């Protein structure tokens, strides 16, 4: 039986720069790469190697202490050619990102990492092909579907039958229902991104829509993994929703920053952390690539931390 959509009304909290700042940490005198958080990426495939490169680029640019990569040798070579800082192989990690660029994780041997990370209580970001591994009641799980993927996931599990259009037009209500049905943190991607965990309901609005281009979802997964890993390594008590909301804000603002840069428009730090609606009245910006968004992360993070 299909559940009725829940009315959320004014219960959404719009993520702000101050919320993001609270989830980030400036490296201290005694910090090292492990203290700053280690992200393990089980992303990319022989079919879609670029997704691994993009998640690695995003994780590195977002301030991870270390990024590990697990995947096919040919894909690892592509990752290391772009980001030689990445360690190819397994070891201690504080967050797992899995699924980006994997057609169906049920057919990928790295699915074992998904199960072991969740069993160990490690924050696990399931994107794209890893959504096939999702089952109700998996704690410490963060899923990042767009409307079509969430529709397919809920139908596969027999939990609800909602079309992609219904989900996209629900104003976040579908994310609320999905979080209740699945018992995990749900990030529903779009110009308006909704993050739900239990009673927490967060909203991130992108200042423009230039992020609607291939590969930016892979970048988002990498940023989320880094923010979660940093919090886990520090023992931060903030929820997965708060950390994920902070990462989504950084990603959205990175897209805006890159669009301004692509149009040759100078960007002041005060503009980076301005409310999204204020930026609607500024320049529209220009087309961007997913790599541009990853490259913008240091500038966006610096602007947030300097406020």
Binding positions for (6S)-NADPHX: 51, 101, 146, 218
C-beta of residue 248 within 8 angstroms of C-beta of residue 220: yes
Q: Rounded to 5 degrees, what are φ and ψ at 183?
A: 70, 30
25: its two tokens: 């940490």
Binding-site residue numbers for AMP are 189-193, 217
**Residue 13 pairs with which residues in a beta bridge?**
202
Side-chain-side CA neighbours of residue 69 (13 Å):
34
Binding-site residue numbers are 51, 101, 146, 189-193, 217-218
Side-chain-side CA neighbours of residue 109 (13 Å):
3
Q: Is 60 exposed, middle or buried (0-12, 13-18, 19+ CB in 10 A)?
A: buried
Residue 104's contacts (CB-CB under 8 Å, 6 or more residues apart) are: 129, 132
94: its two tokens: 């504080």
């Amino acid at each position: 039986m299909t559940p009725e959509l829940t009315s959320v009304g004014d219960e959404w909290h719009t993520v702000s720069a101050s919320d993001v700042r609270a989830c980030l940490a400036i490296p201290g005198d005694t910090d090292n790469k492990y203290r700053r958080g280690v992200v393990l990426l089980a992303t990319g495939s022989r079919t879609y190697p670029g997704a691994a490169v993009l998640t690695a680029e995003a994780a590195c640019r977002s301030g991870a202490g270390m990024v590990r990569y697990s995947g096919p040798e040919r894909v690892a070579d592509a990752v290391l050619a772009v980001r030689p800082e990445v360690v190819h192989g397994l070891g201690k990690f504080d967050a797992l990102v899995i699924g980006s660029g994997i057609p169906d994780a049920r057919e990928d041997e790295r699915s074992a990492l998904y199960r072991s990370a969740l069993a160990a209580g490690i924050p696990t970001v399931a994107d794209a092909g890893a959504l096939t591994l999702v089952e109700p009641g998996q704690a410490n799980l963060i899923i990042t579907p767009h409307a079509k993927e969430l529709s397919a996931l809920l139908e596969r599990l027999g939990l609800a039958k909602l079309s992609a259009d219904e989900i996209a037009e629900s104003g976040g209500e579908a994310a609320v229902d999905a979080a209740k049905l699945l018992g995990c943190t749900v990030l529903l991607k779009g110009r308006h991104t909704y993050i739900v965990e239990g009673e927490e309901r967060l909203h991130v609005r992108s200042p423009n829509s230039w992020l609607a281009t291939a590969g930016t979802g892979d970048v988002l997964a990498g940023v989320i993994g880094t923010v979660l890993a940093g919090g886990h390594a520090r023992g931060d008590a903030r929820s997965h929703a708060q950390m994920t909301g902070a990462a989504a804000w950084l990603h959205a603002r990175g897209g805006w920053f890159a669009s301004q840069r692509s149009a040759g428009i100078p960007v002041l730090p005060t503009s980076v952390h301005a409310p999204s609606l204020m930026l609607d009245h500024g320049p529209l910006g220009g087309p961007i690539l997913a790599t541009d968004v990853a490259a913008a992360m240091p500038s966006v993070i610096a602007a947030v931390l300097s406020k």
